[in-house]
Chains A and B, each alone.
Chain A
Amino acid sequence: MSILVLAEHHDGQLADATAHVVAAAQAIGGDIDVLVAGQDVAAVAEAAAKLDGVSKVRVADSETFAHLLAEPTADLLVALADDYSHVLAAASTTGKNVLPRLAALKDVAQISEIIAVESGDTFKRPIYAGNAIATVQSEDALKVITVRSTAFDAVGQGGSAAIEPVEASIDNSLSSFVGEELAKSDRPELGAARVVISGGRGMGSGENFKILDNIADKLGAAIGASRAAVDAGFVPNDMQVGQTGKIVAPDLYIAVGISGAIQHLAGMKDSKVIVAINKDEEAPIFQVADYGLVADLFEAIPELDSKL
């Protein structure tokens, strides 16, 4: 088997997710190549070459691939896919955007967001907001797969793979990049943080979210949110944790003023330790919490801050 992993990168840096996807590729077994597509991505390619288990890094460095728009990136993958039995990417917004397009162009099904590898053609994935785990088998010649990063431990960085350019002339007249508004934060990335503290509708306002900052600083935590908090405009969309937001599985997840709807639980119930702070003792979040504190968050949070 030979596997192509589409590298995820931001701001000229290889994203953590890629090391997790390579781990999933290792679980499948076989030769693993990493494709780095983008513009000015030499540093990304070097970082990818260091990942354990990677045989070769293929680099498509061109303006066409800047921002990894789906149309040209899928065409590039189509041009390369015949060399491979599997194409993998993280189940990030990039992977989710690009890979189904590749799959359809190759007339194969896509297997979304796998959490375990049973064999080269059989995988486990959550369905119904994680309330069931399906084992699915693909008989397609090419397996196109997105990987839930939190389900696979990242590979190490002791590798030294060869780096070679990809010659492919792809153009894109369908779509163009206009701009982006990226959240800037000194905090760890939500998907990769060891501790996550999330606020829900109970926070009451965007201003009130600031009371989580000190605790996040002390614990080195990322800050997340429920959909209700995002919809209410308290915080931006990239902070949403859940079935249709980010999936997190930190060592410690602290849910503050969050009721625990199944769509929220889908995004955080694989956390190692869950703490819930909610004034309603009947809130469903307490059913998954290891430690539940029934309290008004506006009293409990400042106190917690002072005691850490």
Chain B
Amino acid sequence: MKVLVAVKRVIDYNVKIRVKPDGSDVDLTNVKMAMNPFCEIAVEEAVRLKEKGVATEVVAVTVGPKAAQEQLRTALALGADRAIHVESDERVESLGAAKALAKVVEKEAPQLVILGKQAIDSDNNQTGQMLAALTGMAQGTFASEVEVEGETLKVIREIDGGLQTVSLKLPAVVTTDLRLNEPRYAKLPDIMKAKKKPMDVMTPADLGVEVASRLKLVKVEPPAERQGGVKVGSVDELVDKLKNEAKVIS
């Protein structure tokens, strides 16, 4: 079966962002960018399915600026067979991304689409669910285990109270949680090989969709700073402060 994996270019997860002084957005100039960590898990899962002989082809897709081709190359280095770049310089959010991805799904007809559960920039946690809705597919969100069982997909999901197991009709959409797998690192020879793997480039207009966010970003501001606290010298002092200063225990 064919597996489609959606990857997003985001700020590297180790970077602490700054808000632009004019409050229009966060400042991403000269900031290290990377593949969204949940997308790395999605690519890894697809590649493992191929290694197990379950998947026959892994196609990576992104919607975003030219520079997002770096993340597609990373996906190719990690084991994807080919890539699709839907190029757009607009501010793309989940609904727009899901619409473009839905068109790609229509063309490619994958049996399984794997996305991250959440992009760590917008923290939206929407695209997979939206894609499933737009394509009429079942969704297995926040997956910590995925198994193809003939015409169905068993997904163990991380939910607030613990774990839930669902069975989905294929084709289906899965979004990855942290415990699904531990992504590998790309090896140098694979990075070299990835440069030669095919990449299709198209525009949202080619697909007949609009991807620009319809949510207006009115303002971006830094969060309220916490006042720096104090170090206490002993457990006794800690208990005393909690009782008599903070008054949070009695």
Binding site for B on A (CB under 8 A): 10, 67, 69-71, 74, 92-94, 96-105, 107-113, 122, 126-140, 173-183, 191, 195, 219, 227, 230-231, 236-238, 243-244, 246, 251-252, 262-263, 269, 272-275, 281, 286-295, 300, 303-304, 307-308
Candidates A175, A183, A236; contact of B138 at CB < 8 Å? A175
Is the beta-carbon distance between A138 and B166 smaller than 8 angstroms? no
Is the beta-carbon distance between A133 and B129 smaller than 8 angstroms? no
Given A71-B138, A101-B132, A182-B162, the answer on whether A252 and B242 have CB atoms closer than 8 Å is: yes
B68 → chain A closest CB, angstroms: 18
Is the beta-carbon distance between B169 and A237 smaller than 8 angstroms? no
Q: How far is the CA of A243 from the CA of B11 in the complex (A)?
A: 15
Q: Which residues of A contact B32 (CB under 8 A)?
A: none
Complex A-B: 20 CB contacts under 8 Å: A100-B130, A104-B129, A112-B124, A127-B122, A132-B220, A140-B214, A174-B172, A176-B166, A177-B165, A177-B166, A179-B164, A183-B162, A191-B160, A219-B249, A243-B120, A251-B248, A274-B226, A275-B242, A291-B232, A292-B232
B128 → chain A closest CB, angstroms: 8
Number of A-B contacts (CB under 8 A): 258
Q: Which residues of B contact A138 (CB under 8 A)?
A: 214-216
- How many chain B residues touch the partner (CB < 8 A)? 81
Which 3 A-B residue pairs are closest in the complex by CB-CB distance?
A: A104-B130, A100-B129, A290-B229
B165 → chain A closest CB, angstroms: 4
Is the beta-carbon distance between B161 and A182 smaller than 8 angstroms? yes
Candidates A94, A112, A237, A287; contact of B125 at CB < 8 Å? A112
Is the beta-carbon distance between A128 and B11 smaller than 8 angstroms? yes
B window 200-245: CB within 8 A of A: 213-223, 226-232, 234-236, 238-239, 241-242
Is the beta-carbon distance between B129 and A292 smaller than 8 angstroms? no
In the assembled complex, B137 has its CB within 8 A of some CB on chain A:
yes
B window 124-183: CB within 8 A of A: 124-134, 136-139, 141-142, 144, 154, 157-169, 172, 177-179
In the assembled complex, B69 has its CB within 8 A of some CB on chain A:
no
In the assembled complex, B123 has its CB within 8 A of some CB on chain A:
yes
The winner among B120, B128, B142, B227 for most chain A CB atoms within 10 A is: B120
Given A112-B124, A122-B218, A308-B249, the answer on whether A293 and B163 have CB atoms closer than 8 Å is: no
Residue of A nearest to B19 (CB): A132
